[in-house]
Amino acid sequence: MSALTVARRGRLAGAVIPAAAIAIAGIVVAQSGAQAASRGPALHAGPKISLGSTSNVFAQSFTQAPDGAVYYSHGSVVSVVKGNAAPKTAVHAGHAVQALAASSSDLFVETGLTVTEYRRSDYKALRHFTLSTPVKPITEAGLISGAGNTLWSWTDWATDESGFEFATVSRINTATSAVHVVSKYGFPSPDGYAAGSNGLYFQSNPPSGTYLDNATPGGALHARKLSVAEGNPLVLIGGKVELLVFGHHVTVNTYSSSLAPLTSEQVSVNDATLASADFGLAVLSGSGAALTVSKLNPATGAASGGVHVTGAAVLLSGPDADVIEVSHDTHGTLTLQRVSS
C-alpha cells in the first residue's frame, strides 16, 4: 500500500517528520498538476463499493489477496470484499488491528506484537507469532505475504516525542512459528516493502549509508548501497524491483532480483506511489481530488491508459490496482474502486 507522500518528500528535504505524520499509512496527498497519460490501452474502473464510514482512515489497514479479495480493518474488526459484493465481516481480532496480509489460503492479522494466522476458508485461527521491538508499544506496522511458508513483518515505535525511528524487519516461518529479525534499520514506509520467491525487498539505513536490501527466505541478507534518498515507494513485478525516487527529478529506477541496477527513467513530478497489477506497473498521480491511476512503462517513463479517481487514496497491489477513496482527507465515506485493463 502507499505511504504519505508529503512525509516521504519531507525526508528528502532533510525535514524531521513527526511520528504522527509517519503513521499515516496508506494516504497519498498528491502534488499539484495531473499526469498526462501517453497513448496506450485504456484502463477501466469498476463500480464503487462502499466500505462504510471512517473517523480516521490513518488508523486502518488494507491489503489485497492474490485472488483479488480486499481486506480492511476498522478498529478490531477485519472485513472482506470479494468481487463487487458488499463487505462482510471476516475476523473479530479482539484488539486494534495494526497490519494485514493475505496469501491464497490464509489471512494474517497483527495486533500489537502478535500476528495471528486465520484460515481464509472459515477464518478459524490457526497459530500465533510473537514479534520483537526495542521499545514498546509499537506505533505502526506492516505485514507482507511471501512465498511458501514465509511471512515478513516490519514494526516501528516512533512517537511525536521520540521522532523518527527505524523499523525492525522480521522473517516469520509460518510452518514453525519461528521469528527472526533480519534488520533493525528498515524505513517505516508502508509502500516500501515487497516480497516474492526471492524474498523481501526494502530500503534500510544502517550507520554506513542507505541501502536497497534483499532478505532471502533462507535468512541471507544482500544489500546494494544507494545514492538516492531513503523511504521511496518500491514494488516487485516481473522479477524486477521498481523504485520510485524523489529527487531533483522524479525517476523510476529498475533493479534485477539480485539488486543489479538496470534502468533509470524520468517520470512525472506528480507521481506519488506505485503498485503491481496483472496489467503491469501502476502509478498514482495527480492533484487533490483529481487523482489518476495509469500504467507506467519503467523502460521509458511513459504513462498510459489513465483512470481518474477522487479523494485521498490508497493504492493496493494485486490482480487489480485497487484504490481506496476517502470523501475527506482523513475521514468520511470509504469506497473501493478496482482498476484493471
Task: Report pLDDT digits (tens) over 126-135.
Answer: 999 999 999 9
State the burial class of residue 13 (Cβ atoms within 10 Å of its Cβ: 0-12, 13-18, 19+). exposed
CA 43 – CA 64 distance, rounded (Å): 19
CA dist list (Å): 311 to 61, 201, 332: 17, 30, 10
Judge residue 239's burial from the number of C-beta atoms within 10 Å of its C-beta, 0-12 exposed, 13-18 middle, 19 or more buried: exposed
User: How far does Cα 286 stand from its chain's mean position?
Assistant: 19
What is the reported pLDDT for 39?
Answer: 53
Taking residues 81-106, what's their average pLDDT?
A: 97
DSSP character for 10? Answer: H
pLDDT at 230: 66
Tell whether 272 is covered by a domain: yes
Provide the pLDDT for residue 41.
67
Mean pLDDT across the chain:
87
Residue 295 domain-assigned (yes or no): no
CA dihedral 228, 217, 22, 230 (to 10 degrees): -10
Q: How far apart are CA 28 and CA 11, in angstroms?
A: 15
pLDDT band, very low/low/confident/very high, at 8 (cuts 50, 70, 90): very low
Sequence-ordered list of residues with C-beta below 8 angstroms from that of 250, at least 6 positions apart, any chain: 244, 266, 267, 268, 269, 271
Q: What are phi and psi of 117, to 5 degrees?
A: -95, 125
CA distance 209 to 224: 10
Tell whether 299 is covered by a domain.
no
- Other residues' Cβ atoms within 10 Å of the Cβ of residue 137: 11
C-alpha cell read off for 304: 498510459
Residue 209: which domain range?
Answer: 5-36+59-276
Residue 333: in which H helix or E strand, if any? Answer: strand 332-337
Cis upstream peptide for 18 (omega within 30°): no
326 part of a folded domain: no
For residue 190 the three cell numbers come to: 508502508
In the chain, % of residues over pLDDT 70: 86
Residue 321 lies in a domain: no
List, for residues 35-92, the tens digit of each pLDDT value: 344 455 699 999 999 999 999 888 899 999 999 999 999 999 999 999 999 999 999 9
| Nearest to 221, CA basis, from 261, 171, 263, 154 | 171
pLDDT digits (tens, 9 = 90+) for 11-39: 333 322 233 332 333 333 333 333 344 45
Quick one: which of 157, 159, 154, 128 has its CA closest to 141?
154
**Residue 92 Cα to chain centre, angstroms:** 23
DSSP state of 59: G
Answer yes or no: is 186 within a domain: yes
pLDDT beyond 90 at 307: yes
Tell me the average pLDDT across 153-172: 96
* Domain at 211, CATH number: 2.120.10.80
Question: Smallest Cα–Cα separation from 307: which of 325, 321, 296, 293?
Answer: 293
| C-beta of residue 273 within 8 angstroms of C-beta of residue 191 | yes
0.95 surpassed by pTM: no
Query: Is 293 part of a structural domain of the chain?
Result: no
Could you tell me the three cell numbers for 125?
485461527
Is residue 339 a part of any domain in this protein?
no
Using pLDDT thresholds of 50, 70 and 90, give the confidence band for residue 219: confident
Query: Which of 340, 334, 341, 276 lies closest to 48 in space, CA to CA?
Result: 334
Structurally, the chain folds into a number of domains equal to: 1
**Would you place residue 313 in the very low, low, confident or very high pLDDT band (cuts 50, 70, 90)?**
confident
Residue 38 one-letter amino acid: S
The reported pLDDT for the residue numbered 277 is: 97
pLDDT value at 6 more than 80:
no
The pLDDT value given to residue 315: 94
- Answer whether residue 237 shows pLDDT above 90: yes
The predicted pLDDT at position 34 comes to 33
* CB < 8 Å & 24+ apart, contacts of 183-186: 183/213, 183/215, 183/221, 184/134, 186/154
- The sign one gets for the Cα dihedral 170, 174, 175, 176 is positive
Which pLDDT belongs to residue 25?
32
Task: Give dist(CA 153, CA 170) in Å, integer.
Answer: 5
